[in-house]
């Protein structure tokens, strides 16, 4: 269509006629031009962009049962799009998208019911407006017809129709002349048994489940007849791992049915924020939030969402500040402490879900409230924005960890701030077992009237690289650090009120790499990287199988107004 024809069509008044939901213009498949330069903002809040750009409304009734796509790709300005079901005044959001094809927008609906009516809203990011094209593509052949395009499913029922499915080349482990198959992927949210079945389907089905990747599949279970002529499999799954499920027809049969999934539940110690991959921050950008922990906790890593391709390297830094990140604290880096970095091995899972990040050493947080800053490495975070609101709250099922979200910035610890920004991610706190044997106790009493104590948790297996040291019964807000040595000892250093229970000339100071400050409750702790234990002569040394290490905490104190220092008791760990 020429520009002249485009402008002529727009001048016919279509834009003004569809400026509100109630007067939405019906569209068919193909391209429909639009112009939002004279459109006004509707009262309905956006769920993925902010601002007051003018918007136009359209309706479309689906004709197929497979893929459906709405897009504004190629439009002349930075668009935004929302797709709904329901009716004006009672709209149900399907998806909101800001940037899918450069600065333009797209919404993909993987599976649908023919005859479903959709309402489409097209606007702009911030106050952007201009000329564009809404393109509708219906009944797209499902990409999950082959393993590489497997459709992600979760617990519950997912309808399927093998009527237009083709037969994949991958051989089946059971069944006869199995054909017309579709593929699904399932990512376990917990550890334990998971079941997949097609009971109630209209035809004779076969089902097979795999671990591994397309091209290197490992069959976990295969079944022909489980419930009459329909199929079902069950096997143990591991949290965070993705499995592929293939549904086909016995001896070439096809028809409709539901894939029913029942997997292990979400761990009670995890808290996951809302996920919507609709907005991304800058590389090196920061996501801010508040975290409250009702008891001492340890984190060995986290899950977060990135926008780079699956397999690309990514990473993260975790910083904390006492209390809250708000009130301008996000602008002053001197108020923050970096407590964790990634282990350098993380790769992106794509922008369709969480990418697992392991810390180089576990993070220990005493009970209390903290401002948290997560700085992305390798790519920007994904956020949920717009109508999500500010200070949105999430909590783990056991009530131990709660999050208040949040804000974000392209430059950490600067005056720049965007909100609301709800970080897409997950924290899971851990209960670590006690390791080692304490000795040299009780320690000398400190200004609180109690003796400081040390505890070691994690694992005594070197390969696990899991050690968290915790000092308790300390004065509030006292500075200190952990000491390490391969020799035992007993001495009272000058200026100290306590006994040093480590010996040898190479006592290392600052296990975990930093000076600590005790909480209001008199606790500090840190995770340690077993490949880099501090050593007075060599800087740092790795823990080796068969080594015995001794650890103790040193801390500042004041008794009767006189500054002194003290020690906790000590712990001995022999590594396997």
DSSP 422-479: EE-EEEE-B-PPB-SEEES-SPPB-TTSSB-EEEEEE-S-GGG--EEEEEESPPTT-E
Same-domain pairing of 166 and 110: no
Model confidence band, residue 384 (pLDDT cutoffs 50, 70, 90): low
Residue 368: CATH number of its domain: 2.60.120.820
- Sort 3 into a burial class: Cβ within 10 Å, 0-12 / 13-18 / 19+: exposed
* Secondary structure element (H or E) that encloses residue 525, with its range: strand 524-528
Task: Specify the pLDDT at position 389.
Answer: 47
Residue that terminates a domain, selected from 87, 105, 140: 140
Same-domain pairing of 93 and 222: no
Task: Specify the pLDDT at position 259.
Answer: 96
Same-domain pairing of 422 and 485: no
Residue that terminates a domain, selected from 115, 140, 165: 140
Q: 386: Cβ–Cβ under 8 A, 6 or more apart, which residues?
A: 45, 46, 47, 48, 49, 50, 96, 420
CB of 432 within 8 A of CB of 461? no
Task: Specify the pLDDT at position 385.
Answer: 54
Same-domain pairing of 415 and 334: yes
Residue 88: CATH number of its domain: 2.60.120.380
14 has pLDDT over 90: no
Same-domain pairing of 398 and 457: no
Residue 529: CATH number of its domain: 2.60.40
Q: What is the pLDDT of residues 227-243, one digit of tens each?
A: 999 999 999 998 888 99
* Secondary structure element (H or E) that encloses residue 35, with its range: strand 30-35
Range of the domain at 288: 270-428
Strand intervals (E) in 179-314 = 179-187, 192-197, 205-213, 216-223, 232-237, 242-249, 256-262, 270-272, 279-280, 286-293, 297-304
Considering only residues 197 and 278, tell me which one the structure prediction assigns the higher pLDDT. 197
Closest CA to 484 of 565, 546, 540: 540
Q: What's this model's pTM, rounded to 2 decimal places?
A: 0.58
Same-domain pairing of 406 and 477: no
Same-domain pairing of 230 and 371: no
Same-domain pairing of 278 and 401: yes
Q: 88: Cβ–Cβ under 8 A, 6 or more apart, which residues?
A: 21, 22, 24, 119
Q: Give SS3 for 21.
A: helix
Q: What is the distance between the alpha carbons of residues 296 and 289, in angstroms, rounded to a whole number?
A: 19
Same-domain pairing of 257 and 397: no
Task: Specify the pLDDT at position 239.
Answer: 84
DSSP H helices in 95-167: none
Q: What is the pLDDT of residues 452-478, one digit of tens each?
A: 999 998 889 998 888 889 999 999 889
- Bridge partners (DSSP) of residue 392 are 405
Task: Specify the pLDDT at position 462.
Answer: 92
* Secondary structure element (H or E) that encloses residue 153, with its range: strand 151-153
Same-domain pairing of 569 and 457: yes
Q: What is the pLDDT of residues 355-371, one digit of tens each?
A: 889 898 888 888 889 99
Average pLDDT (196-212) is 96
Task: Specify the pLDDT at position 16.
Answer: 58
Residue that terminates a domain, selected from 108, 140, 172: 140
CB atoms within 10 A of CB 222: 18
Q: What is the pLDDT of residues 504-550, one digit of tens each?
A: 999 999 998 888 888 888 888 888 889 999 999 999 999 999 999 99
Structural domain count, the chain: 4
Same-domain pairing of 419 and 310: yes
323: phi then psi, degrees, rounded to nearest 5: 85, -85
Same-domain pairing of 27 and 78: yes
């Amino acid at each position: 269509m020429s520009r002249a024809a485009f402008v002529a069509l727009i001048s016919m008044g279509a834009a003004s006629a569809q400026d509100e939901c109630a007067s939405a213009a019906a569209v068919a498949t193909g391209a429909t031009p639009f112009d939002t330069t004279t459109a006004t903002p509707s009262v309905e809040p956006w769920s993925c962009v902010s601002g007051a750009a003018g918007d136009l409304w359209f309706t479309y009734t689906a004709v197929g049962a497979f893929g459906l796509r709405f897009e504004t790709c190629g439009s002349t300005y930075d668009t935004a799009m929302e797709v709904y079901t329901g009716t004006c005044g009672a709209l149900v959001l399907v998806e909101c998208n800001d940037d899918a094809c450069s600065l333009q927008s797209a919404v993909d609906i993987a599976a649908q019911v023919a005859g479903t009516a959709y309402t489409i809203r097209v606007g702009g990011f911030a106050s952007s407006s201009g000329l564009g094209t809404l393109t509708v593509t219906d009944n797209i052949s499902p990409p999950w017809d082959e393993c590489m395009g497997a459709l992600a499913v979760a617990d519950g029922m997912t309808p399927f129709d093998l009527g237009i499915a083709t037969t994949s080349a991958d051989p089946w482990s059971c069944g006869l002349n199995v054909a017309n198959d579709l593929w699904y992927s399932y990512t376990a949210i917990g550890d334990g048994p998971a079941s997949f079945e097609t009971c109630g389907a209209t035809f004779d089905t076969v089902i097979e489940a795999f671990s591994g990747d397309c091209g290197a599949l490992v069959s976990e279970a295969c079944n022909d007849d489980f419930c009459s002529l329909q199929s079902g499999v069950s096997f143990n799954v591991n949290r965070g791992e993705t499995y592929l499920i293939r549904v086909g027809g016995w001896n070439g049969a096809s028809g409709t049915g539901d894939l029913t999934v029942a997997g292990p539940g979400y761990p009670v110690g995890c808290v996951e924020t809302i996920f919507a991959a609709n907005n991304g921050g800058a590389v090196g950008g920061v996501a801010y939030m508040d975290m409250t922990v009702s008891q001492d906790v340890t984190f060995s890593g986290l899950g977060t969402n990135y926008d780079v391709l699956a397999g690309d390297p990514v990473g993260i830094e975790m910083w904390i500040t006492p209390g809250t990140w708000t009130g301008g604290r996000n602008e002053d880096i001197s108020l923050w402490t970096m407590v964790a970095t990634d282990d350098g091995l993380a790769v992106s899972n794509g922008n369709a879900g969480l990418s697992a990040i392991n810390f180089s050493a576990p993070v220990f947080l005493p009970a209390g409230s903290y401002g948290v800053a997560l700085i992305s490495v390798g790519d920007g975070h994904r956020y949920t924005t717009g109508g999500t609101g500010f200070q949105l709250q999430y909590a783990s099922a056991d009530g131990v960890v709660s999050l208040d979200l949040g804000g974000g910035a392209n430059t950490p610890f600067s005056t720049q701030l965007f909100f609301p920004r709800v970080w897409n991610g997950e924290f899971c706190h851990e209960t670590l077992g006690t390791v080692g044997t304490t000795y040299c106790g009780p320690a000398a009493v400190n200004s609180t009237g109690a003796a400081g104590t040390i505890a070691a948790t994690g694992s005594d297996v070197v390969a696990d690289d899991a050690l968290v040291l915790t000092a308790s019964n300390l004065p509030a807000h006292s500075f200190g650090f952990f000491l390490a040595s391969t020799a035992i000892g007993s001495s009272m250093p000058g200026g100290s009120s306590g006994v040093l229970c480590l010996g040898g000339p190479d006592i290392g100071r600052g296990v975990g790499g930093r000076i600590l400050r005790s909480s209001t409750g008199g606790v500090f702790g840190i995770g340690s990287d077993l490949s880099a234990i501090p050593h007075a002569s060599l800087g740092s040394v790795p823990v080796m199988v068969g080594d015995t290490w001794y650890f103790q905490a040193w801390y500042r104190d004041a008794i009767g107004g006189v500054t002194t220092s003290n020690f906790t008791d000590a712990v001995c760990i022999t590594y396997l």
